[in-house]
Amino acid sequence: MPEYILTAEPPLGGYERHFEGTSLREHRELAIVAVSIPLGKDTAVSAALGEAYGATLPDHGVSVVSEDGATRILRFTADQIFLLFTHAKPDAAQVVSERLNGTGYTVDQTDNWVSLSLSGSLARPALERICAVNLRKDAFAIGRAERTVMEHLGAIIIRTGDDGFLLMSGSSSAESFLHALETSVKYVS
Amino acid sequence: MIINHPLLGPRDSSEFYHLGDATLINRPDPDAADAAEQFYEYVYIRDDPAGEYRELWYHEQGDRSWLVVTRNTLTHEISSVELARDVARRQGK
């Protein structure tokens, strides 16, 4: 019987490209875990986050980074947070569930998303053309995170640095999302 | 059109899906004696006011919340935006 070895492959195969000093790069091993907060358990989840990650439950539209800098916690809605961290194995949800002592309901969403970093001077002008969120530096401070739409595709945008953004969209339409980003960057370069 | 989301602030209406009359929150009791008549009205009968109207909007490309938006159908002016679950809870649902 033949032996198969399965190798994890990101939706865009590890895409990376540079445009006049601005880089667009796919994340290879970014684990994404959704944690749903059971009704009335905000305090318990917040306490568990504090113990495990040295972080509190973030406000809506804001992301916080864990004490060790390894995990970013996002919150878009009242009852759910996302945890993002580099993790190569397919057991991310279990890892989070154990660290949070089972206080929230965890779902591994890693394979459902494509994650790209766009950074450099062209990032903001390129995103302004396709993103419905106000990205002015004072309106969208470092750490802000929103779920929105780019072109016709649902997307998450997180400001990670002065001119740096982490962008996420559905893995099944990753090529279309990349096309929208590439086209917009080309138009402003 | 901009919808001022109660949790997330002003958001473009392109992120939302519009469902219609907010009375859809009030689903009739299926065990009522006149349930068939009530469901007929619930599903098919709508007011079509020229003026203030309470509607359900879904933040599909956002936080996936349902909102009750009070909008003037003549001017498109939005006078109030609430989370639908807050409205439902206020009604004891």
ipTM: 0.77
Please state, for a pLDDT cut of 70, what percent of chain B lies above it: 100
Split at pLDDT 50, 70, 90, the class of A5 is confident
DSSP-derived secondary structure for A25-54: EE-SSEEEEEEEPPTT-HHHHHHHHHHHHS
- Region A85-98: mean pLDDT is 94
pLDDT for position A92: 95
pLDDT for position B92: 85
Contact residues on chain B for A77, CB-CB shorter than 8 A: 7, 63-65
The answer on pLDDT for A44 being more than 90 is: yes
Answer yes or no: do A77 and B14 touch at CB < 8 A: no
Strand A80-86's sheet: what is its strand order? A62-65, A71-77, A80-86, A30-36, A105-108
- Region A9-31: mean pLDDT is 94
Instruction: Work out the angle at residue B25's Cα, subtended by the Cα atoms of residues B24 and B31, and round it to the nearest 5 degrees.
Output: 90
Judged by a CB distance cut-off of 8 A, whether residue B12 touches chain A is: yes
The answer on pLDDT for B39 being more than 80 is: yes
- Region B65-77: mean pLDDT is 95
The identity of residue A74, as a single letter, is: L
Instruction: Find the closest chain A residue to B7 by CA distance.
Output: A60
The full set of domains in chain B, from first to last, is 2-25+40-90 (3.30.2270.10)
The identity of residue A118, as a single letter, is: L
Whole-number Å distance between alpha carbons of A60 and A77: 6
Whole-number Å distance between alpha carbons of A150 and A73: 22
Judged by a CB distance cut-off of 8 A, whether residue B2 touches chain A is: no
Q: Measured between CA atoms, how close is B14 to chain A, in angstroms? A: 8
How confident is the model over A137-173, as pLDDT tens digits? 999 999 999 999 999 999 999 999 999 999 999 999 9
How confident is the model over A98-147, as pLDDT tens digits? 999 999 999 999 999 999 999 999 999 999 999 989 999 999 999 999 99
Rg of chain A in Å (alpha carbons): 17
Answer yes or no: do B14 and A149 touch at CB < 8 A: yes
Other C-beta atoms closer than 10 Å to the C-beta of A104 total 25
Rg of chain B in Å (alpha carbons): 14
Split at pLDDT 50, 70, 90, the class of A85 is very high
Residues pairing with B80 in the sheet: B70
- Region A67-84: mean pLDDT is 93
The full set of domains in chain A, from first to last, is 16-28+112-188 (3.30.1360.120), 30-110 (3.30.70.1520)
Q: Rounded mean pLDDT of chain B?
A: 93
Give me the phi and psi of B57, to 5 degrees please: -125, 140
Instruction: Find the closest chain A residue to B65 by CA distance.
Output: A77
The answer on pLDDT for B93 being more than 90 is: no
Whole-number Å distance between alpha carbons of A96 and A91: 9
Whole-number Å distance between alpha carbons of A101 and A45: 9
The answer on pLDDT for A1 being more than 80 is: no
B9: left (phi over 0), alpha (psi -120 to 50) or beta: left
